[in-house]
Structure 1
Amino acid sequence: MLRQQDVGHRVVVRRIVGVSGDRTLFTDALGELVDLTETDLTLATDKGTVRVPLREVHRAKRVPAARRPNAASVIALELAADEAWPAPVRGRLGGWLLRAADNWTGRANSALAVGDPDRTLEEAIDAVVRWYGERGQQPLINAPLPLAAPVNASLDERGWTSRPLTLVQTAALAPMLTAAARADLPPVDLADAAGDDWYAMVADHKGTLPAAALTILNGVPDRVFAHVRDTDGKLLAVARGAVTGPDRWLGVSLVQTAPAARRRGLGGHVVRALAHWASQRGANRAYLQVEERNTAAVALYGRLGFSTHHTYLTREAPL
């Protein structure tokens, strides 16, 4: 049977699905074990998240990992993403990053557990708890998988909970650059500064924007704000792009469409505009972060050529 040490690893689960005559029927599920409780296990599979009651598990075991990016590439991409989303309050535990931003977004208010924290794992977790406690914030740790599987195992033992699994997806820009422009859609306006209506649309989704949010959104030299408006000037869609890191990654974030303008292709429209902008700044690949349960967004990004590079869990300390 599986144990907490298997969380973050690839496993196969044989599940009992019924009985036919005197024969037990089974089905197999293969994926990344993202949660294991006393009653259920949860897998992130190629077809989505699967929750299996333990009473239905006939056999389960860890299997060799699928071909994955090496640890260095995960760390490099996570650091590029951190540079594109710069929390105003920062600290370090060896290679780990400590970040705080008035509780606006998990990415900017969590410790990034990559690299060596220069102390034992238990001491590092204790230090994270103290750092966030001193700032009046709930401690959060961003744990990339399977790189930070040992971190996740220790946090499980301490009773930390998990937010929904996040996919870090990447794509080459070239196919987006060669795609035919949508002449039936309004043009994308790319600006160095966001308009008031841009911020209002983001606030509708992310909540009130504190001063720290403005610092994050405007804190990268190579950043751009995409606006799509109708002929009356009403905002239809927004997005933000930032080019960071030695590999010149395009970070795509905050792709949002007004409710009345959805299902028209505006999401892909703004992402392709960001790709053209980034290509002029030396980027040839893009990344984004999307919750695995957001199936509509995952499907959109899949059509643009994005696939999962790695995943992460944001872990929350008990209150």
Structure 2
Amino acid sequence: MLGPEDVGHRVVVRRIVGVRGDRPVYSDALGELLEFDDDGLTVATADGPLRIPGDRVSAGKRIPHRRYGTAALERVASLAWPAPDTDRLGDWQLRAAGGWTGRGNSALPIGDPGLDLPDAIEAVRAWYAARGLPAQINVPLPLARAVDIALDERGWTRSPATLLQTVRLADLVAPEPGGSGHGDPEVRLDPLPAADWLAVVSARKGALPPEAYRLLTGPELVRFAAVYDGGRLVASARGTVVSGFLHLGLVEVAEPARRRGLAGLVTRALAGWAATTGAHDALLQVEGHNEAALALYARLGFTTHHSYVTRRLDAPDRVSA
């Protein structure tokens, strides 16, 4: 049977849905376990959250074919991209980083906000308004479909989907950080970002406020990968290890240096470093329309676990994903 320790994991629950000929009729509910309490449990199915009273539960178990639940991975990703200004709304997380990036300045609606959904949405709006920021909510799907529907009804705008992808770390073939010894350039892995590394990120994501530097360097285990050619930075990426996961991001290759395998090189170098810390899996977030990045990550073995969309109340100046 299931218990509170299974919250956040993918499960199947056999439930009683009726009676036929003095015998119970059963149906299975498949999805992520959102809540477990004395009165029953809630499962995030493909059709939305399903509340099952305890006296209707016949059996339940975790499903082994999916290693991690959406809630667990979203929390890991949030810890790997730690906004310096955070708060809680029940189980929901509120994050602000001076407006730098959507992930750093959005609510994560996982679990019970402790309020009715309309009141929770209004509380999110007020929290960001108090900081002079547009209200944004990153909605993982299908886990938070009820939130997504409620925001549709209230006219919040919707971004294209972002994919959260994962791979076993052992499946990322990682050379030594100093290079593979077979002609690959050296990959530097620094604990702090150099000025030229930050300049590349600023060109891609916008000017870096102080909150951005705190976000980038916040995790305890973080490395900034860099490849140089003739003294010029030609490839870069960020990796951080949180809860046994390598979170990869900000992979960038300068235009003249593309099609030389440098994106894969820095990714594998970070994987090699992460393996020395005891990490077991890697994850990343990539925009669903970024075909070049998707092709690269597919070659490296990444597969999509779930997607999320960023919902925004107003139409502010663009905030990067």
TM-score class normalised by the smaller sequence: 0.7 to 0.9
Aligned to 2:291: 295
Tell me: CA distance 1:206–1:216, structure 2 relative to 1, closer, same or farther (3 Å): same
Does the 8 Å CA contact 2:175/2:272 hold for their aligned counterparts?
Answer: no
Tell me, yes or no, if structure 1 residue 177 matches structure 2 residue 173: yes
- TM-score with structure 2 setting the length: 0.75
What amino acid is aligned across from residue 155 of structure 1 in structure 2? Answer: L
Segments of 5+ residues of structure 1 without an aligned counterpart are: 1-61
Alpha-carbon offset, residue 204 of structure 1? 1.1
Q: Could you tell me how far apart the structure 1 residues matched to 2:107 and 2:267 are? A: 28
Alpha-carbon offset, residue 175 of structure 1? 2.1
Question: What is the total number of aligned residue pairs between the two structures?
Answer: 252
Does the 8 Å CA contact 2:174/2:268 hold for their aligned counterparts?
Answer: no
Tell me: CA distance 1:99–1:178, structure 2 relative to 1, closer, same or farther (3 Å): closer
Q: Could you tell me how far apart the structure 2 residues matched to 1:72 and 1:289 are? A: 16
Secondary structure of the structure 1 residue equivalent to 2:278: coil
Aligned to 1:252: 248
Moved more, 189-198 or 171-180: 171-180
Aligned to 1:158: 154
Tell me, yes or no, if structure 1 residue 77 matches structure 2 residue 77: no
Does the 8 Å CA contact 1:84/1:251 hold for their aligned counterparts?
Answer: yes
Tell me: CA distance 1:69–1:161, structure 2 relative to 1, closer, same or farther (3 Å): farther
Tell me, yes or no, if structure 1 residue 233 matches structure 2 residue 263: no
Tell me: CA distance 1:154–1:189, structure 2 relative to 1, closer, same or farther (3 Å): same
Alpha-carbon offset, residue 177 of structure 1? 3.0
Alpha-carbon offset, residue 95 of structure 1? 0.8
After superposition, the C-alpha distances for 1:64-120 in whole angstroms (9 at most, x for unaligned) are xxx998797211111111111110111111110001111100000000011111111
Aligned to 1:222: 221
Q: Could you tell me how far apart the structure 2 residues matched to 1:292 and 1:280 are? A: 31
Q: Could you tell me how far apart the structure 2 residues matched to 1:187 and 1:116 are? A: 47
Q: Could you tell me how far apart the structure 2 residues matched to 1:72 and 1:187 are? A: 34
Aligned to 1:310: 306
Aligned to 2:279: 283
Q: Could you tell me how far apart the structure 2 residues matched to 1:299 and 1:285 are? A: 19
Secondary structure of the structure 2 residue equivalent to 1:111: coil
Tell me: CA distance 1:151–1:281, structure 2 relative to 1, closer, same or farther (3 Å): same
Q: Could you tell me how far apart the structure 2 residues matched to 1:71 and 1:238 are? A: 29
After superposition, the C-alpha distances for 1:34-78 in whole angstroms (9 at most, x for unaligned) are xxxxxxxxxxxxxxxxxxxxxxxxxxxx8xxxx998797211111
Q: Could you tell me how far apart the structure 2 residues matched to 1:117 and 1:69 are? A: 30
RMSD of aligned C-alpha atoms?
2.1
What amino acid is aligned across from residue 259 of structure 1 in structure 2? Answer: E
What amino acid is aligned across from residue 193 of structure 1 in structure 2? Answer: L
Match of residue 108, structure 2, among 106, 112, 137: 112
After superposition, the C-alpha distances for 1:105-146 in whole angstroms (9 at most, x for unaligned) are 000000001111111111110100110111111100000000
Secondary structure of the structure 2 residue equivalent to 1:270: helix
Secondary structure of the structure 2 residue equivalent to 1:177: coil
The percentage of counterpart residues that share the same residue type is 50
- TM-score with structure 1 setting the length: 0.75
Aligned to 2:191: 192
Does the 8 Å CA contact 1:191/1:225 hold for their aligned counterparts?
Answer: yes
Tell me: CA distance 1:68–1:282, structure 2 relative to 1, closer, same or farther (3 Å): closer
Match of residue 163, structure 2, among 163, 167, 183: 167
